[in-house]
Chains A and B, each alone.
Chain A
Amino acid sequence: MQQARDSGGGVQKILSIITQLLPIIIIGGLLYAGFFVKAEAVITKVEPKPIERRDNFFSIITPTEQIAWAAGTAGKIVRSDDGGKTWLRQPTPTLVNLQGIAAWDAQTAVAAGNEGTILHTNDGGASWKLANTPKSENPNKLFRVRVFGDTAWAVGEFSGLYKSTDKGANWTRLLPEDDRALNAIYFVGQSGWAVGEVGSIMRTEDGGETWTPVETENQSSLMAVTFRDATHGVAVGLTGTLLVTDDAGVTWRVVPGLTREHLLDVIWDENNWIAVGDKGVKVTSNADATEWTAGRLAEGDVAWRTQIVRAGSKYFVAGANLGILEDGKITVVGR
């Protein structure tokens, strides 16, 4: 006990107060913890990637070699400023599927989709605004939107043919409704062509004021049409349908039996005609559109593609996924 006294009276006093209070605090604390404290899990925040697994991109456009804009499922628009290496998602005010996108330049673009939705931007996509579109009782599904000169054109179900002359803000309907969908449109100057369901083709000579139907032997739906000049054009469609014209679309010749797969888009890349479609199919020809060969876009690639665009030495493809084709090799973005 001698040593106990030696260790100091003041300290002893404080200690005794602490030792008297401590048990009560601790027991109270335990009771409280036991009955009232519930652990809360800390949840890590998840940021969705710009391009997700579930995404389909129905359309893509490249206003410059380095800039690409793609539109697809659930109102998604993504943009790359570095030739497709990195992509950024752009906020849009819609969740409907977007089926088409077109651009005048790096700043100004339009996108179109289901329920008559058209979006337009003039700030490079930092903000996409809903455009004024005439809508009717039918689903108003829009497929493609294209830009020719200052005018933007959109096509869709029920002979949907719309036009905007103010960079996509306001749209007017040009044709009365009928049960036939229009799937694609193309203009060279004042000459224009629109293709659609059951092989329908229409042409205009006056910048789209009046449209004349063109009769062909083809009954399959046409999905895309492109002209390399005012007279030479190619239209493609379901079950490998391939039509060629050498007279500004007055008459069309059917190129038979290259593939049974759907062809969904066709472009003129300054050297060749290239058509893409279902199951990775690719159909190409020389400028005359006389020697067609069918193959695959890339070895082992089986995804469906609804659009192909060229950007310098590369091609961008949109469809089941977003792909970049370079030297015959395809890189799928986000995989």
Chain B
Amino acid sequence: MKNTTFSKVEHAFALLIKNRMLVVLAVLIATVVMAYLASFVEVKTVFSDLLPKNHPYVEVNQKFKSTFGGSNMVSIMVEVEDGDIFKKEVLEKVQKLTVGLQQVDAVDTYQIVSIASKKTKEVRASTEGVESRPIMWPRLPADDKEMAILREAVLNNPLIYGPYVSIDLKATLITADFLDTEINYSKAFDQIMGLIKEAEGDGVLVRVVGEPVLYGWVNFYLDETIQIFFAAIASLVLILLLITRTVHGTIIPLIAAIISACWALGAAKLMGFHLDPLVIVVAFLITAQAISNSVQLISRFDDEIAHGTAKASDAAVASAKHLFKPSLLAIVADAGCVLVVALTPIPMLEKISYIGTVWIFAIFIGALIMTPVLLSWFNPRKNADGSYSHRFVHPINIRPVLMVILNLASSIVVTKARFVVLGVALAVFAVSFWYSFNLKVGDANPGSPILWPDSQYNTDAADINRQFQGSDRMFVVVAGKEKGSLREPEVLQSMANFQRYMEAQPEVGGSISLADILPQVRRVLREGNPMYGELGNDAGENGELTYMFVSGSDPGDMDRYADSDALNGAVTLFFRDHQGETIRTAVARVQDYVKQNPIENAEYLLAGGLVGVLAAVNEVILAGQIEAIALALLVLVVCCTVTFHSMVAGVFFMIPVMLSNTITFSYMAYNEIGMNINTLPVVALGIGLGVDYTFYIVDGIREELHLHDNVEKAILNCLTSQGRGVLLTALTLITSVGLWSFSSLRLQADMGLLIALWLFISAFSALFIMPAIVYVFRPTFVVGSKERPIERAEGSAVVV
């Protein structure tokens, strides 16, 4: 750095330290205010935040969800251990659950369907013609004879037998839809679980899945998540204490973390944002970043003291002066990378991005400013030999272990081993780059990737999907050109063919539409002759069939198939899972079908329901992931180019980032962690994170070269001084991040591991790969050139 900039920073920090009481007081007051605000930040899942803005699928979902069933559907399966469901005590439970669901908060009372609901009907011939009546409403079968009739009615109705009663008659399904705008996931979850607990027992098993239940589980584990968060912070402190052995080395990083967290969360409240429980791990990542920055400064401070600086304030100023540039660069680059996430038009990601950016800038205050200011209080004591040091709080010294690693790093740079390291790094990069293309967008596993495969939710999901057609739904709207379009044989036949086409995909367990109902009615009308189980011959006949089905039922009962004007209808597809691959294939097949089979009177609109919404989310992320990664890298390149006045610098710093990216992507692909709404922010943050350590090392080498022009010596000195800071933070963070693997939420465990991997690769490349690259290639922005030699520094304490 130029001496003039150096002295500006020096003056600024000298001034800050001179007025340190004032500074501390000001920051303290601001922090208290922000902490107060932060205490009001809600931790909750808001469904609308997950929906991409202006996406056509989402618009279709929003427009039609109230009639065709939205994305917040809960499926409850009542299963008997022995025999079948046609027993009074079992059906009683089904009825009780069906009625009980109506009392649950935010439930759409018109969208509760089970064999015990009024909506589930059979069409039968009677003396007056054809009537449709509920099969088991309002009362249960009174005796064996009525039970036998019910059983026959179920077996004969393909709209019930299969979709709502399992083929082996051992299970029946109850589905309920919730209102997106009103739902409080933890409240609904508690009430549903209460109902289920009551129903379970006496040889009856009850399983439940659906987004409200999933988010309910996430909220259920919120306490645990927060415990792990604090346990991780506590372990951080302990490890810091173990390694640094000093009071200031332990407490100050913690203060840095607390200040930045308070500011960020307070700002979140001011911006009117809430926190999603699933992104708490991102919060931890940024906190780790704050601690990392602070530890670097303290490490340098300790070096200054060790090299004979007697006054804490002098050492603090020196530390701040030397690390200001790489620290600031790290912060700006990180913030830039996180801000890029906001380009993905999903409200949740935008909010995370804004909170994250503010949080990272808060590190500037919490770590960059406050750490030197606070350090100025920690004067060292004079030892007998005239050197200065701080009092150690415990006798365990692991410094020699760190030195072993750093010496290894040094010996690699100066021996031919550097070529081996570079070669291996290149090979690893090439292989992981190739393998990273296996990374999937969307969920990569059946069930929910948020929870462990053996979690109750996922085993319930597996059980339900084994017995039924699939609990995840997508509706495709068939929008008629005019009223009555949905009675046209052409349109109905197209719907039936469409369903057949879609069901060829193995993950599509079934589908239902008006085109399934009318043949049932027609068959009944034709003396029950199955050879007449077909659509009507013309619009008039189809209109009559619809009328027969609707007659005697409530207005709106028909709505989930088509509106009363026969203008808009829906084909509902049932999916056995919502993996990214499944959804993409289904959407592509819908488009294929529509392209190959155009119809005049109607058009097919994608797509509503959970799978429809997820399709939109996945499309946005798929389209945005390259953009996000490329722009984050660009931000990084620009930051480095500007800082070091060199385009080469920009490219140079991409090396560790690319390496950690390809390796983590490969890891994700290998472990089947999909790129989704929950993992994308971590990935983007990782891009910024992957380079920080290298900033410190390269800047350290440059600083050394201000003192002399021996590149080898500069690298070695830097590795033992700055390198120790890097190693210290990396070790601390990696160890504490490990605690996340105990989370009951698989997502958080996965992300914890991912972050640990990221930190490890960045630290490894900063210590082993990048010094070797500097040594071999001698980039001029580090070592200087004849035209632009490195400026000689004024005296510094650290002279080896």
Q: Give the interface of A toward B (CB within 8 A).
A: 1, 3-4, 7, 15, 19-20, 22-24, 26-27, 30-31, 33-35, 37-39, 41, 43-44, 46-49, 52-54, 56, 58, 74, 95, 97, 99, 114, 139, 143, 221, 223, 238, 262, 264, 278-279, 302, 304, 306, 319-320
Contact = CB atoms under 8 A, between A and B. Distances in A.
A306 B531 contact: yes
Interface in B474-518: 493, 496-497, 499-501, 503-506, 510
B441 A30 contact: no
Nearest to A262: B528
Interface of B: 152, 155-156, 441, 493, 496-497, 499-501, 503-506, 510, 527-531, 533-534, 537, 581, 584-585, 588-589, 622-623, 625-627, 630-631, 633-634, 637, 641, 647-648, 650-651, 654, 709, 711-712, 776-779, 783
A33 B654 CA distance: 15
Contact of B534 (A22, A35, A97, A279): A97
A205 B102 CA distance: 68
Contacts of A41: 441, 584, 588, 622
A23 B655 CA distance: 12
A183 to B, nearest CB: 8
B652 to A, nearest CB: 9
12 contacts: A1-B709, A31-B634, A35-B627, A38-B626, A43-B584, A46-B506, A47-B504, A52-B503, A54-B499, A221-B527, A262-B528, A262-B529
B530 A27 contact: no
A302 B496 CA distance: 24
Nearest to B499: A54
Contact of A46 (B504, B530, B654): B504
A302 B510 contact: no
Given A34-B631, A262-B528, 8 more contacts: A1-B711, A7-B776, A19-B777, A38-B626, A46-B589, A139-B537, A221-B529, A262-B529
Nearest to B442: A41
A56 B523 CA distance: 14
A44 B581 contact: yes
Contacts of B155: 279, 302
Nearest to B340: A34
B504 A49 contact: yes
Contacts of B712: 3
A200 to B, nearest CB: 14
Given A114-B534, A238-B527, A22 B651 contact: yes
A34 B627 contact: yes
Nearest to B651: A23
Contacts of B654: 26
A320 B650 contact: no
A58 B783 CA distance: 84
A74 B500 CA distance: 9
A34 B776 CA distance: 31
B503 A39 contact: no
The 4 tightest CB contacts between A and B, nearest first, are: A23-B647, A48-B504, A34-B630, A33-B630
Given A52-B500, A306-B531, A33 B626 contact: yes
Given A23-B647, A39-B622, A74 B531 contact: no
Contacts of A27: 634, 637, 647, 650
Contact of B637 (A26, A49, A278, A304): A26
B634 A34 contact: yes
Contact of A306 (B530, B627, B630, B711): B530
Given A39-B622, A221-B527, A30 B588 contact: no
Contacts of B503: 52-54
A320 B158 CA distance: 10
Contacts of A38: 623, 626
Contacts of B783: 4
A4 B537 CA distance: 88
B98 to A, nearest CB: 25
Contact of B152 (A4, A74, A262, A279): A279
B620 to A, nearest CB: 11
A297 B500 CA distance: 28
A32 B265 CA distance: 36
B623 A39 contact: yes
Nearest to B712: A3
Contacts of A54: 499-500, 503
Contacts of B633: 30
Contacts of A31: 630, 634
A54 B623 CA distance: 35
A83 B709 CA distance: 88
